Amino acid sequence: MPKVAYHLFRPEALTSCVVFASPHSGRDYPWSFLRHTLLDEHSIRSSEDAYVDRLFDCAPQYGAAFLKAGAPRAFIDLNRAADELDPALIEGVRRMGHNPRVASGLGVVPRVVANGRAIYHGKLPLTEADRRIRDYWRPYHRALQSCLDEAQLAFGESVLLDCHSMPHEAVDGLARGGAKRPDIVIGDRFGASASAHVVDRIEAAFTSAGLSVTRNTPFAGAFITQHYGRPARRQHAVQIEIDRAIYMDEVRIRPNANFHAFRRILRGVIAEVAAIGNAQSRPLAAE
């Protein structure tokens, strides 16, 4: 099984209320897992947010915590609720209403990877799903909430930047009719998971770096933004989706020639976002 549930990188001194997290960039695929799947070591990575952790790993240098998954998304999806169990995959689970994510095979224990390719032949026992949730899902979310609580205690406010990547084709529909293709999609669940002021500042950090940004279409945020976004309690959650084609070869799943240049651009964005709510900035709650 994957060695650890998560990796947490803390700054030498916590000077930012922002917590950066990458729940889908885990790439520990042990043989004990792969031998029970239908996919090879390359295909099973197709729904992974490959290298997103490397894009954001400088966050602690700017006084912010950075949390990343240890287990891969194909093994356990940390951006799903613990009860989003797929009856088509997990033995003994009854269908409870219609959940489009679960119905498409993308529950907390995924049944498929990108393009609907099945991961397993047959079903998994409920005890296996429960074990993955206990040993990987719960520790990750305990660590994430702990980071947000620490920021809240220190600054009176916390901001979660939930970092993801999207297939280049995901925004094809937005680029029709001459419209500019977005590089970044910001998701705040249409204003429900973060205050407008917070989201405006995050968007400004990306646009000032020359990146095109849109909000909530086609990705408004899933479980993590819904669960952790509590702006009335001064806990904000914003999802970031980056076009993978900017920095990686999607077919080979490896960094492309632009990776290091884009990483440098993001470094400036991360520094600007981390400055939100730091000791030198006016508290967000005062806005």
Domains of the chain in start order, with CATH, are 6-79+139-286 (3.40.630.40)
- Within 108-247, where are the H helices? 126-132, 138-155, 196-207, 223-228
For residue 10, what are the contacts with CB-CB under 8 A and spacing of at least 6? 60, 65
- Give per-residue pLDDT as tens, 227-240: 999 999 999 999 99
Structural tokens at position 69: 């998954």
- pLDDT at position 279, please? 52
- Give per-residue pLDDT as tens, 39-68: 999 999 999 999 999 999 999 999 999 999
Structural tokens at position 25: 């960039």
**Distance between CA 45 and CA 20 in Å, rounded?**
22
pTM assigned to the model: 0.94
The answer to whether residue 285 scores a pLDDT higher than 60 is no
Neighbouring-strand partners of residue 214: 185
- pLDDT at position 284, please? 55
- Give per-residue pLDDT as tens, 179-229: 788 999 999 999 999 999 999 999 999 999 999 999 999 999 999 999 999
For residue 46, what are the contacts with CB-CB under 8 A and spacing of at least 6? 113, 114, 115, 117, 253
**Euclidean distance between the first and final Cα of the chain, in Å?**
46
- Give per-residue pLDDT as tens, 113-153: 998 999 999 999 999 999 999 999 999 999 999 999 999 99
The answer to whether residue 277 scores a pLDDT higher than 80 is no
